[in-house]
Amino acid sequence: MDKELQEAKKEAVERRVERSEKERITNNMEKKKKDTKVFYKADFDDLIDIVLNDDHIKFLTSDQELRDDVTIDGVVYQPPPQTGLPPNLQIPRSDKVLAYARNHDKSGGTGVSGACRGCTLLYKKLLDYHTNISELPDKDLYHLLVIWDFHTYLIEKANFSPMIYFYSIAERGKSRTLKGMVNVAFRGIRKGDITDAQLIRDCTHLRATIAFDMMDFWEKIKNAGSVDVILNRYERGMTVSRVNRPDRGAFQDTDYYDVFGPTVLATNEIISTIADTRAIPIVMIKSDKDFEEEVSPKKALPLKEELTAFRLAHYNDPFPSVPKIVKSRLGDITKPLYQILSLIYPISKEEYTNIINNTTPIVKTEVRLSTHSTFINLIRKIEKTKLVEKIGSIDSDIIQAWVDVKGESIGGVLACQLVTTEFNAEKDEREKLSSRRVGNRLKSYGFQPTTTSNHTLGFFLNDEVLQKLIKEYDLPIDTPSQTPDSPENPESPEDEADPDKLPF
């Protein structure tokens, strides 16, 4: 009996020890878990997006896997918690995205490579969506908005991203149009105010599509110290720097941020000239239509999920190689948009050439080619508008002043003061420029500075530079310089161009 009692006591002690050990291990694990810092990430290679799966945020990767975390360089990252994301940012639902992705396949022959059925159907849905939100000054601009929507979801493949810029007085539909765009864009967030630190976080941590909806936009950007962020967002590889740790000394005090990403803007003021060259401006008009349907992020969620499915289906597809539709920076910033269009509606080199040269009439029922024709002609119209804005600008007037007085050059050198006097001749006091400012502009055009015989600022005549500027600003065509001091260009009536034969 005593032996049995001893055995029972021994077993009870062992159970208590075992229980205590389990409790110790559990407590240690809980403590370690509490002491372990959680790292969050929303951008890495092969990530399609952060998605909702049974109310839990997960990573959706290009292999269609849903993951709770990912290990990068030995560090474990989790998706950001919903409380850490912008409140109006709608997160795609994983089941909807995966279901929509099954609609993306190659079908419906086009004579080139076959368009993706899911993409073409989604293109039409987005076209209807934007058309029912607001009235744009040109109906072809709805195609620009749709292509831009797709563009935000494959931004990794683009080297440029044009700022879409809505400008007008109040009550012209700017904000409504902007909301429609940002609600379907990849991680679109709308900002009514700016702080530099938050803007950089949105660009880098979230990789957001950013919509600025505010009065006096450029003034607020300058006050926030974020001009470099806006000017550099349009091109991949451009970075901005901030000195965050001045006490650490050289090479350890500064952080560099990649701020590239899609941007849309609605404001009542004209933005800076430099920013305008990176943008596609749209001047809004008063609409005669009543648009009663509310523009909300929640209503746009199904389209956003379809666009996320587009990203999933085509993330690893090669980007089409296409030419620039127009020259200059406008051609650079619109090329990625045309690549997106060519991914949705494939086109052959011969078909592209026919559209550019108008050699073959486009049948409107042929949606693929007519959409290409619409977009190409739209970009050409935008180019003409930008050229008209250049005509009559300060630069245009300075170049024209140069042309008007270059005959007064001495020894192949034109005095800067002559150009300045000619430029100011018919200007009021507020519009006049100093000789120094005119000289700085002339240097920026490519004219080489020197000194005149009177030891004042002058510039060497350069007909190659001048003719390029005349073409760029669409000024009346000028004949090469004829001066008494230039024996290689003798004056002769036979050399004068017939105005009726000039190639305007």
- pLDDT tens-digit map of 232-276: 999 999 999 999 999 999 999 999 999 999 999 998 888 888 888
**Both structure tokens of 329:** 């920076």
Q: Which residue has the higher pLDDT, 128 or 28?
A: 128
Place of tokens 């159970």: 15
Q: What is the mean pLDDT of residues 406-418?
A: 93
Q: Is the pLDDT of residue 335 over 90?
A: yes
**Predicted local distance difference test score (pLDDT) of residue 478:** 57
The pTM (predicted TM-score) of the whole model is 0.78
**Predicted local distance difference test score (pLDDT) of residue 16:** 74
Q: Which residue has the higher pLDDT, 480 or 297?
A: 297
**Predicted local distance difference test score (pLDDT) of residue 243:** 94
Q: How many CA atoms lie within 13 A of 385 on its CB side?
A: 15
Give the type of residue at 222: K
Q: Are 403 and 461 in contact (CB under 8 A)?
A: no
Place of tokens 């600008």: 393
**Both structure tokens of 504:** 């305007």
Q: Are 188 and 263 in contact (CB under 8 A)?
A: no
Q: Is the pLDDT of residue 400 over 60?
A: yes
Q: What is the mean pLDDT of residues 130-144?
A: 94
Q: Are 33 and 58 in contact (CB under 8 A)?
A: no
Q: What is the mean pLDDT of residues 138-147?
A: 97
- pLDDT tens-digit map of 55-73: 899 999 999 999 999 999 9
User: How much of the chain exceeds pLDDT 70, in percent?
Assistant: 87
Helix (H, G, I), strand (E, B) or coil at 188: strand
Q: How many CA atoms lie within 13 A of 374 on its CB side?
A: 21
Question: CATH homologous superfamily for 117-388?
Answer: P-loop containing nucleotide triphosphate hydrolases (3.40.50.300)
Q: Which residue has the higher pLDDT, 483 or 496?
A: 483
**Predicted local distance difference test score (pLDDT) of residue 376:** 95
Q: Is the pLDDT of residue 166 over 90?
A: yes
What's the rounded Cα separation, in Å, for the pair 189 and 364? 36
What's the rounded Cα separation, in Å, for the pair 179 and 260? 21
Residues 6+ apart with CB under 8 A from 194: 212, 214, 220, 221, 224, 226
- The lowest-confidence range among 30-39, 192-201, 282-291, 451-460 is 30-39
CATH number of 394-501: 1.10.10
324: pLDDT confidence band, cut at 50, 70 and 90?
very high
**Predicted local distance difference test score (pLDDT) of residue 328:** 84
Residues 6+ apart with CB under 8 A from 336: 151, 157, 158, 159, 160, 161
Residues 6+ apart with CB under 8 A from 475: 391, 396, 399, 400, 403, 469
Helix (H, G, I), strand (E, B) or coil at 64: coil
Q: What is the mean pLDDT of residues 217-227?
A: 92
Cα-atom radius of gyration of the chain, to the nearest Å?
Answer: 31
CA nearest neighbour of 369 among 382, 351, 381: 351
User: How much of the chain exceeds pLDDT 90, in percent?
Assistant: 65
Q: Are 185 and 209 in contact (CB under 8 A)?
A: yes
Q: Which residue has the higher pLDDT, 475 or 374?
A: 374
Give the Å distances, CA to CA, from 177 to 126, 166, 219, 315: 13, 9, 23, 28
Q: Is the pLDDT of residue 407 over 70?
A: yes
- pLDDT tens-digit map of 2-16: 666 667 666 776 777
**DSSP result, 190-237:** EESS--HHHHHHHHHTS--EEEEE-TTHHHHHHHHT-HHHHHHTTBTT
Q: What is the mean pLDDT of residues 24-44?
A: 74
Domain range summary for the chain, segments of one domain joined by +: 1-33, 40-85, 117-388, 394-501
426: pLDDT confidence band, cut at 50, 70 and 90?
confident
Q: Of how many residues is the chain composed?
A: 504
Q: Is the pLDDT of residue 1 over 90?
A: no
CA nearest neighbour of 328 among 448, 473, 146: 473
H/E run at residue 271: none
